[in-house]
Each structure stands twice: as structure tokens, then as C-alpha cells.
Amino acid sequence: MPHRDLERIKTFNRRTALLAGGKLVLLSALVGRLYYLQVVQSDRYAMLADENRISIRLLPPPRGRIFDRLGELLAANRLNYRVVLIAEQTPSVEATLETLGKLIPIGERDVRRVLRDIHRRRAFVPITVRDNLSWTEVSRVEVNAPDLPGIVIDVGQRREYPLGATAAHVTGYVAAVSESELTGDPLLELPGFQIGKSGIEKAYDLALRGKAGNSQVEVNAFGRVIRELSRNGGQPGDDLVLTLDAGLQRYVADRLAGKSAAAVALDIHTGDVLALTSSPSHDPNGFTEGLSRAAWQRLVGNPRKPLLSKAIAGQYPPGSTFKMIVVLAALESGALTPQHRVTCTGEIEFGDRKFHCWKRGGHGTLAMLEAIEQSCDVYFYDISLRVGVDRIAAMARRFGLGEPTGIDLAGELAGLVPDRDWKLATYDARWQRGETLVTGIGQGYMLATPLQLAVMTARLANGGKAVTPRLVRVTEGSDEPEIADLGISAASLKIVTEGMRRVVNSPRGTAYKARIDDAAMAMAGKTGTSQVRRIGKSERLSGVRRNEDRPWDERDHALFVAFAPVRAPQYAVAVVVEHGGSGSRVAAPIARDILRETQRRDPARAGGAGRVATAPPRPGDA
């Protein structure tokens, strides 16, 4: 073979070997990569495949229930039947909705919303047409199912308040989450999820809300659900047992019906709130179902403010119910003794003004107990000047005025206890001694809520213990919190409580007509009538117009605070009737009836042991 051909063959063989070697390297790399992907990384890619195939969806937990002290339901979860439409399952959405509208009421607004949502979402996603169907409406839809392609009945839960308006300001209500309330918690972003907006529902929302569950579903490439693989129901919200007595709450609500008023009844030793009522009220069920614009406007436009919890957020001049605090400030400071006497002629002159007593012509000469009994304004003008506003303010704060009481309820306001520092900080002006006079009878800048007045009364009646009001019971097995002593002498408290006893049970007392005749239930109390307008000199000369002759919003507020039974105090009550006119004629009889009913309902009086409920087991919240 010629040398030239031999060289050509060698070159060919070398190139063949190089190509074969290159192919072998590439094949080895490919095999290595396949081994890496299919063996080494098999778990990772299996997980990614499952993540594309399996969708995890949050499930809202059942909300915790709310009970009264004896186990009556105040807030429950009820089945919510809703009709939904799946657009891909009907040849004509409009025709289906028209047929459905002949069976159950569907508003034009609902139809427009459904059509809008269908264009925004995929065709297989269910769209809610209407919530809260009655069983009759569900039956009509199910019977006519063959004529309603794409229509499905879905079952969920909705919040229900069996007492309705009676306990609305205590329970509060739940409603849809607003954009400002989103915190990043995915549970809050679930369609239809509701949170507490007021009352106990808001104050204990996190506990009542529970922990979300989840559902694993298999979906196709378009996101359509093929089947459910697993389900975890999550953790239901905690049930709450309140201190409230639902029966007493109903009684108080009935007693306040037709008035713009508030009343609070509590146990003076534990702080348990047995009734907390504001009138007029509103039905919280309307918020869970969705209020119409007209219904909302009626609520916010009502001058008697049915949405306001007057018991904790209504702020009123306490009037003569504040006089016990002035007495305590005088006695505890050592400025005066119970024997201090003042002659009331019906008015006193101070500077260039006259300050009048409620009794025209005056009370004559009185000592301290008589002044409380007859509520003599001139007596309290005198001692307030001797004591000074700062001492009065300090004593008021010790009894729970001028700051939130600490009740476990959202929306409480602080009221106002003025003093010299407050006046300087607020108005950049010095305190005037004439302002001390009006503060001494609970007028001027003084403001208090009905709850604060009830707490003040409880602390007077329980021997000067700083009891704090509460609405949620201490759980079984937990120790009662220790209650601090206010450091008020027993002698001073005895003067005040004896004066309150005389107010109701002495023939000369301002509330004698409202007394409880049963000695075992007898109450002690204090009337209050607070002005909402200034009475000018010309009106006094011509005769002050009677409350019933004035427009409603110019009439005096009527107040009364009381405790019972006198022999062994257990309960305190505060009643405020807005523009009621007279504490003795209007508020005192209401307080009397509430205290009488409270004592009548006391299990200990019936030979019981003060039975208190714990939350019963969940029956499914059907």
C-alpha cells in the first residue's frame, strides 16, 4: 500500500477515535445528568410535581360561642345555606338567574354583582348568588334543580345572636374584614371571613377566632379541583362564659324601653357585671347578614344613638351622685367633721354671681348626714371650697372616675375629673374658685360614664375595695385576683353609706318614694339631676321652666346610684336617663326595680349555691 494511502487511513482512524471519544464523553455527561435528576434529586422534583398538582387551601375554623353565667347562648354559629352559581355548567347564566329569581327573591343588585364576578373569575369558580336562605327556599331550589343548571346549594356558618338588641352592646357583632384590618394573616383574606367589630366579639376576637384548618385538593393544569385528598379542620375558637345574667339583662332592657338611657348592675365584691344595657339598641344580626344602606342611615341618623354603648361610652355630668366623693375628700383630709353645719337659704353669693340650691327657699341648717339625705347644694358649695378641687379630684380618681375602669370590653371612655393642672394644660388658664363650687355638685367639667358610677358605688359599699368590673368569668380553677384596698377609713365610709341609706329610707330623703319596702332587700342610694344648659338670671326671676316644658334635648339628665341589700351589701346599680328630668322621679324607680330583680334572681336567696355555668361541649353548632 502506498505510503500516502497509509497516512490517510491513520488520519481517519484518529479522527474516528476522537469523535467516538467525544460522543462517549457527551453520553456519559447525559447519563450522569439523568442519574442526578432522577435519582439524586428525585424527591425534590416529586415535591415540585405535587405542588403543581396539589393545592392547599385554608379552612376557617368555627368561631367560639359566647354564653351567659348560667349557660344561655348569647352568640352562636348557625348553618348558613347559600345558593351558588358555576358558570361553566350552564348554557346561559342570564336564563338560569331568571329562573332562579322566580323561586327565591333575588335583587337586581345581586344579579349585577354575579354577572360582574363571572367576568372576573374563571368559569368553574362558584359565585355566591344569595346568603342566608330559609329552609323553604332551599327546598324550592333543590326540587327544581333539573331546571337550574349550574346552581348548587352550599352550606357554611353564620353568626347569630339569640338575644338580638337586648345584649347587642355587650356581645358586639362580627362583620367582613376591611382593608385596613388586614394584618398579613391569610385567614383574614378568606372570602366571607368575619371578625369582631365591637363589644366582646372585638375584645376577645383572637381567642374566639381559633386556628385555621386546611384542605389538600388535587387540581388540573387550569386550577379546577379534581378531588379532595385530605382535610384538617383546624382548632375551633375558645368558648367564653360571661358574668352577664341574660334574664336580668332582658329585664333591664324592658325597663329602659322607650328611653334614651343606660344601666349597669354589678357584684360589689367580685366586679362581675350582671347587666349592662344601653337604650335604644340595635340588632347585631343585621350586621352579620349585611345591612342595607337605608338601614345603616337610620341607625347613624337616630339622635338617640342606638349604636353607642352609653353604659361605657356615654359621658354625663354626675350631678349629686358625686356628692359622696366630696364628703369623703372632706373627711379624709381632716378639713371637716360630720358635725360641720351649714345654713342653706336657697343660694349663696360668690364674687359677682349667685349659686343656687335645687330647693328654692333652702333647707335651713344642716349637718353632713342631713345634707346627703336632702342633697343640699349649698352645703356642698361650702365644703367644696374648704376642701379644694385638687383633693376632690384625687378622691374621685381613687373611686374609679376620670379614667377607664379596665372592663374587658372595647370602646370604653374615660370621663373627666378636672383639677387645676388639667385646666392649665387644656385651656392655658388658671382654675377659678367658682369652678370648684360647681364641681362640688358634679357639674361643670365633670363627666362620668354609667359604668364608672356603678364602680364608684360598689367601692363605697364594699368597704373601700378597688374592685374592677369584668364581663368574662375567671376560668374554673383559677384564683380570684386580689383586690387592693383604697385606704379609706371605715368611719368615713360609714358616714357616706348611712347618708345614702337615709336618702332612700328616711321620709325626708330625696328618693323616699322609690324605696324597697322589703327590709331584707332594702337599698341605699343617691339621686342626681344634672343640667345640660345654663339657667340665666332672667329665667330664674320669671320662673325656671319645668323639664316637661322644654325641648327634649334641653331637659336635665336623671341619675341614680344605689346598692343593696343595706344590711349586707352585694350589688350596685347605676342608672342614667338622658334628659329624663329628675333623678328621684325617673331614675330612682328604675334602679329600685333593677336591684329588686337582681336580688330576687340571686341563687343564694333561693337556697342555691350561686350556680355558674361553664361552656357546654360543642354539639356541632348546628
Catalogue the active-site residues. 320
Grid coordinates representing 563 are: 346598692
Is residue 353 within a helix (H) or strand (E), and if so which, with residue range? strand 353-356
DSSP-derived pairing of the beta strands 240-241 and 151-160: unpaired
CA atoms of 521 and 527, how far apart (whole Å): 19
Q: What is the rounded end-to-end Cα distance, in angstroms, of the chain? A: 102
Cα–Cα distance, 305 to 303 (Å, whole number): 5
Beta bridge partners of 48: none
Provide the residue count of the chain. 622
As a whole number of angstroms, the distance between CA 176 and CA 178 comes to 6
Rounded to whole angstroms, the Cα distance separating 69 from 422 reads 41
> 521, 599 in Cβ contact below 8 A?
yes
Location of C-alpha cell 334543580: 145
User: Dihedral, CA atoms, 80, 86, 91, 92, nearest 10 degrees?
Assistant: 60
Q: Name residues whose C-beta falls within 8 Å of residue 32's C-beta, 6 or more positions apart in sequence.
A: none
What gap in Å lies between CA 215 and CA 222, rounded to an integer? 18
Which parts of 110-239 are beta strand (E)? 127-130, 151-160, 174-176, 194-196, 213-219, 225-232
Residue the block writes with cell 386580689: 482
Q: How many CB atoms lie within 10 A of CB 153?
A: 15
Listed residue (527, 521, 529) closest to 546, CA to CA: 529
Longest dimension (CA), the chain: 154
Cell numbers given for 598: 337582681
d(CA 160, CA 75) in angstroms, rounded, equals 6
| Three-state secondary structure call for residue 296 | helix
